[in-house]
Every structure is written in C-alpha cells, then in structure tokens.
C-alpha cells in the first residue's frame, strides 16, 4: 500500500480555525520515533496542512536532526483507531496541553477482551511502571522497573458471550499503554494484542488490536463544551454481530 492509499484512510471529523480532529486508522503511527522510516499522521499533516508545521513541540534526535510533530498534543497507539486531536495554533496547543495535564479531557475507548468479565462495571486502579522482563512493555504488577505511577481506568460492559467481552473503557490517567496494561493485569487482555497477549490467537475476525478511541470531550473557553466522536469501525461492528449471533448477553 503506497503513501496516498494510507493517507486516504484518514477521515476529518471536525475542523475550525484552531482545531482539527481526525479518525486515525489502525496501523498508522502518530509521529516518528526517530528509529523507523514509515508513514505517520505528522507526515500527512505536513502535506495537507503545511501552515501548522511549526505548531507544537518538535523533537531533536541525538544526531541533531529535528522531527516536526505539527500540532500533535496527544497520541494513540499505532494499532489503535479513532479520535486524534491536532492543534492548528500554538496558543491552542499550550491550552490543550494544560488540559491533558490537569485531566480535564474525557476519553472513551471501545475494546473487545479475551474472557467474560464477571462484573458489569468497575475501576481498575493499579499503578504502572516499565516491565522488568521486556523493555517494550509496561506493567501493573508489583515489581516493575522504575517509578510506579498512579493509573486508573473505569470500564463498563457492553456485551459478553462465547468467551469474550465488549467494553467501554474510560482512562482517568494517561499512562502509556494504560488500557492494554490494565486489562492484562486483571487477566482479560485485549483481543489481538500482540504485545500483552502474544500467545492468544486472533479472534472475532480481528486482524489488529481490538481497541478504538471512540470519543473525546473537553471545554474550550471560546467554544464551550465539545464532544468529538469517531464512527465505530467495520471490524468492531462485525465482531459485535458475531457475539450477538452467539447469543451473547447484552448489558448496555
């Protein structure tokens, strides 16, 4: 798949003179990590919104070259689809950065889990640190490497059946891989998670991580309360239909 085909999958959900919100497709990184050469949302932005190239906080690599991250104020994982906010002015970038820091931005994710959760709703309140076993991973188990940082994720079961659970997850903190790590910690990892459930087979028709950033909400002084939602992906709809066909128990 060439660059144009990848970028054609990016859908603009909202745009005004300060803010851009997109539906990021699964498989696309938000910005380069400086180690790999692959297409990114940052590359797309430099092509379609070149005027915001210098908005945000560029990163200088150890070799001295600069990587631009135009307007990008938060991230979602490569394999996660859904809502991503981009700031078009430095003023909004700084305001939104502060809102994320103060936890004034609400985030709602959808996920399919291996196993059937027993409770219909709850809170996973477990601190997260780097894993001692694998530098790529984070852990919510005792004995992590470095500082254990507080982390909490609320969840609500949408549907369960045939050994799977469909949930809405609302992270109250913003730790790396938080939702993936928390559901792994309670022994219900996310379907298709090659990092945190590498021995599990793909299921429910998924060919990627079954995690979708469905909604983001916040308030701006000059715009009032804002809620931006991304459509439910086709593979999520097919997976839910498959669960329903297996007489899954809906609790929504």
Positions annotated as catalytic residues are 77
Per the CB < 8 A criterion, the answer to whether 123 and 102 are in contact is: no
Q: E-strand spans in the chain?
A: 11-15, 19-24, 59-60, 66-67, 81-87, 106-114, 121-125, 128-130, 138-139, 145-149, 152-161, 164-171, 211-220, 224-229, 249-250
The Cα 236–Cα 74 span in angstroms is 24
Nearest to residue 88, comparing CAs of 14, 11, 145?
14
CA distance 184 to 145: 17
- Give residues with Cβ within 8 angstroms of 150, minimum separation 6: 127, 173
Contacting residues for 63 by C-beta, under 8 A, at least 6 apart: none
CA distances (Å), origin 85, targets 101, 200, 228, 229: 15, 32, 9, 11
Q: Roughly how many angstroms between the first and final C-alpha of the chain, as a whole number?
A: 38
Residue (of 222, 207, 233) closest to 83 by Cα position: 233
C-alpha 157/C-alpha 110 separation (Å) is 10
């Amino acid at each position: 798949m060439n660059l144009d085909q990848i970028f054609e999958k990016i859908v603009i959900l909202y745009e005004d003179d300060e803010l851009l919100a997109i539906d990021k497709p699964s498989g696309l990184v938000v910005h380069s990590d400086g180690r790999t050469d692959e297409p990114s949302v940052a590359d797309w932005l430099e092509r379609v919104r070149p005027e915001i190239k210098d908005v945000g906080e560029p990163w200088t690599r150890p070799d001295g070259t600069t990587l631009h991250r135009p307007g990008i104020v938060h991230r979602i994982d490569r394999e996660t689809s859904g809502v991503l906010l981009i700031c078009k002015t430095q003023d909004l970038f700084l305001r939104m950065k502060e809102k994320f820091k103060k936890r004034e931005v609400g985030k709602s994710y959808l996920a399919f889990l291996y196993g059937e959760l027993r409770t219909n709703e709850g809170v996973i309140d477990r601190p997260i640190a780097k894993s001692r076993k694998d530098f790529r991973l984070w852990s919510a188990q005792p004995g992590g490497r470095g500082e254990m940082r507080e982390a909490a994720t609320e969840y609500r079961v949408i549907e369960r059946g045939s050994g799977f659970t469909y949930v809405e997850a609302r992270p109250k903190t913003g730790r790396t891989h938080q939702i993936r790590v928390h559901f792994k910690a309670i022994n219900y990892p996310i379907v298709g998670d090659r990092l945190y459930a590498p021995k599990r087979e793909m299921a429910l028709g998924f060919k990627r991580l079954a995690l979708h950033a469905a909604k983001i909400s916040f308030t701006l002084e000059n715009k009032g309360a804002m809620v931006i939602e991304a459509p439910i992906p086709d593979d999520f709809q097919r997976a839910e239909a498959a669960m329903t066909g297996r007489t899954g128990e809906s609790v929504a």
